[in-house]
Amino acid sequence: MKKLLLSALLSCLAFALNAQCVTNIGTPNDIVICQQTSDTMGITGDGVTGYQWQASINHGAFTNIADDATYSGTQTRLLTINLNNNMNGDRYRCVLSSACPVADTTNYSGIAAYSPSAITAHPQSVAVCENQNGTTYLSCNASGPKRAFVWQVDKGNGFQTIPENEPYYGSPHAGNMLPILQPPASFNGYAYRCGIVELCYDTVFTNGAYLTVNSLNIPITTQPKATTAILTTNTSLSVKHSGTNVTYQWEVNKGSGYTVVSNNSTYSGATEDVLEISNVSNTLNGYIYRCKLNNACAGTVTSSTAVLSVIDFKICMVTADAISGKNQVIFEKPSNTTNIDSFLIHREGNITNQFDQAGHLALGDLSVFTDNNSFPTQQAYNYRMSIKYKNGVVTAMTGAHKTIHLTINKGINDNTWNLIWTPYSGVSVATYNIYRGTDSTAMSLLTSISGSFTSYTDNAAPTGSIYYQLEIQATTCTPSAPPALKMEQTLGGGYTSIKSNFAFNAGLITGIHSNSLNEVTLYPNPNNGTFTLQINSDKNILATLKVENILGETIYNEQKAIYGNQQIPMDLKGFSGGIYFVKIQCGIQQEAIRVVLKD
């Protein structure tokens, strides 16, 4: 019996010595829920014959789990988990079976669901003096599972990460504080922001903070300059510098010391680098201006002074000249002509308010400018003037004067003519005088109407050719030198009135037709002075051919025998470009054709 018991004990001991237990047990890996939808936990160990995964939900007791919609591989080395944020804090472990009678259990691991970091402190803008000793710090902070900080700078072309070896920045600067070492003036206006690098989310950036670097001095690169302004025009004074973060304050000395300039109806930009002065009046003549510049590091720097001189200069009138048929700009020279080089005349082109130089007059010339490139019968014109000084400075332009453009069209009856015109601007118009005549050199007053109106119908006009012209009685304008010997304006005499162009009804007359002139044509039109007049008649006739300019002056006149249909060559090359009227008279019948000669 004793032998049998001893044999059984030895047999059991031999089985125990032969059984392989679990060794080298690993711990399951932790899982962090980011954007992935599933992940795995794995274990390692030698001698394992079976696995059973257990879970502790909400920090409860560990219980066995089985394969379902949430878990798979619950009895394998790898546990696959379909993740959701509700699993945050859940723990997992595995019970390992082996040949040993007692199972082994691994340490547990957990699931963490990260939320974005929340910024708790944005960097704040700061102002320093350029190259100041010491270090300027910008700081930020955030709560949550942040991993690191990164700093970026915007130098004007977008935010870029600051390299570790970038000059002027302390290293390392990957923490929540950015050290800036003695920033130069070139750093003025740079924007900085801090980025919080996340484990599961995109980097979160703070608001931007600006670095203001005040210069230690304010070098003035352009001082205010003395200026001459024409009465009622606008002018300006300016100061330029190479400092940073500079404020401005303009001051004026009216004769009893400097006082601060404030923005009002006369001044604007009183605290800017350009002081605008509007509608300059005579009271400003001789005022002295200066500008005080200041910043937090350099203190106050005062510019040099500039004197404003005001000249009473303007256009008197713009009128259509009866002799040349062109516009004349008439003005009086200022009483003070010191250092004046010339007077510039500007005319508005085909762009609104864009005035180009149309000509100039020297200081010693008569102050009457004839615009040879104008055609008053075609359109109205807008003129302004300026003064050029010997040093090359040109004043602002005067107020504009716009001419009267008079047009005519046929009324409902043969003796009815409609007059329409553009109003004159540049002076106040109280009355338009309307003149009429069968000859442009013998006009008489037809009527006068209010300056508020721009049209009139002549219901009782004589038959045949008629000229019309408008007149505005204006203040006498006396040019500074006697006019050259020439015919003065037909109406009013001298420079006391403003005249429109002549409006002539040639080409609009129906006339009394017989069978003499069936058709009259002219080609080409416009032309360079050479053209053909074609007359179609049903009989041989004797006609008078006449050519008149827009003033009604006859420049060509002859009698011509017309044999039926005939082409008559015409040559007016010796005459200047403009508008002319070709008239054919046969008995009581008259035809008139408008022709344009190009220069």
- Residue 341 in domain: yes
Residue whose tokens read 């750093």: 187
- Residue 254 in domain: yes
Domain's final residue, options 195, 214, 233: 214
> Is the peptide bond prior to 224 cis by the omega test (within 30 degrees of 0)?
no
Considering the domain architecture, whether residues 349 and 416 belong to the same structural domain is answered as yes
HSE-up (13 A, CA, CB side) for residue 431: 10
* 244 phi and psi angles, rounded to 5 deg: -125, 150
* 242 phi and psi angles, rounded to 5 deg: -115, 20
Considering the domain architecture, whether residues 278 and 357 belong to the same structural domain is answered as no
Amino acid, single-letter form, for residue 400: A
- Confidence at residue 510, expressed as pLDDT on a 0 to 100 scale: 41
| DSSP secondary structure string for all residues of 258-271 | EEE---SSSEE-TT
Task: Give the CATH number of the domain where residue 407 resides.
Answer: 2.60.40.10
- Residue 468 in domain: yes
> Is the peptide bond prior to 28 cis by the omega test (within 30 degrees of 0)?
no
Q: Which domain holds residue 132?
A: 118-214
- Confidence at residue 588, expressed as pLDDT on a 0 to 100 scale: 58
- Residue 6 in domain: no
Strands 227-230 and 306-311: parallel
Exposure b/e, 513-529, CB count within 10 A at least 16 = b: eeebbeebebeeeebeb
**pLDDT by residue, tens only, the chain of 599 residues:** 333 333 333 333 333 444 578 888 888 888 888 767 888 998 888 889 999 999 999 889 999 999 999 999 999 999 999 988 888 889 999 999 988 888 888 888 888 877 788 899 999 999 999 998 888 999 999 987 777 899 999 999 999 999 888 889 987 777 899 999 999 999 999 999 999 988 788 889 999 999 999 999 999 999 999 998 998 889 999 999 999 999 999 999 999 999 999 999 999 999 999 999 999 999 999 999 999 999 999 999 999 999 999 998 989 999 998 777 889 999 989 988 889 999 999 999 999 999 999 999 999 898 999 999 998 988 999 999 999 999 998 998 999 999 999 999 888 887 899 999 999 999 999 999 999 998 777 889 999 999 999 999 999 998 877 889 999 987 778 776 544 433 333 333 457 889 999 888 764 544 333 446 677 888 888 889 899 888 877 766 667 888 988 877 888 888 777 766 778 888 988 888 888 888 887 765 678 888 888 87
Domain's final residue, options 483, 505, 527: 505
- Residue 15 in domain: no
Considering the domain architecture, whether residues 454 and 370 belong to the same structural domain is answered as yes
- Confidence at residue 477, expressed as pLDDT on a 0 to 100 scale: 80
CB atoms within 10 A of CB 106: 22
Number of domains in the chain: 5
- Confidence at residue 12, expressed as pLDDT on a 0 to 100 scale: 35
Considering the domain architecture, whether residues 494 and 405 belong to the same structural domain is answered as yes
Joined together, the tokens standing for residue 493 give 């005499």
Considering the domain architecture, whether residues 485 and 540 belong to the same structural domain is answered as no
Considering the domain architecture, whether residues 286 and 422 belong to the same structural domain is answered as no
Task: Give the CATH number of the domain where residue 564 resides.
Answer: 2.60.40.2550
CB atoms within 10 A of CB 291: 28
Q: End-to-end distance of the chain based on CA atoms, in angstroms?
A: 152
- Residue 1 in domain: no
- Confidence at residue 62, expressed as pLDDT on a 0 to 100 scale: 94
CB atoms within 10 A of CB 588: 10
Considering the domain architecture, whether residues 375 and 488 belong to the same structural domain is answered as yes
Considering the domain architecture, whether residues 323 and 469 belong to the same structural domain is answered as yes
- Confidence at residue 575, expressed as pLDDT on a 0 to 100 scale: 87
Residues 97/91, Cβ–Cβ less than 8 Å: no
Considering the domain architecture, whether residues 376 and 388 belong to the same structural domain is answered as yes
Domain's final residue, options 310, 340, 370: 310
Considering the domain architecture, whether residues 350 and 492 belong to the same structural domain is answered as yes
- Residue 25 in domain: no
Q: Is the dihedral of CA 529, 532, 534, 535 positive or negative?
A: positive
Considering the domain architecture, whether residues 480 and 547 belong to the same structural domain is answered as no
- Residue 236 in domain: yes
- Confidence at residue 218, expressed as pLDDT on a 0 to 100 scale: 95
- Residue 408, burial from CB neighbour count under 10 angstroms (0-12, 13-18, 19+): buried
Considering the domain architecture, whether residues 100 and 139 belong to the same structural domain is answered as no
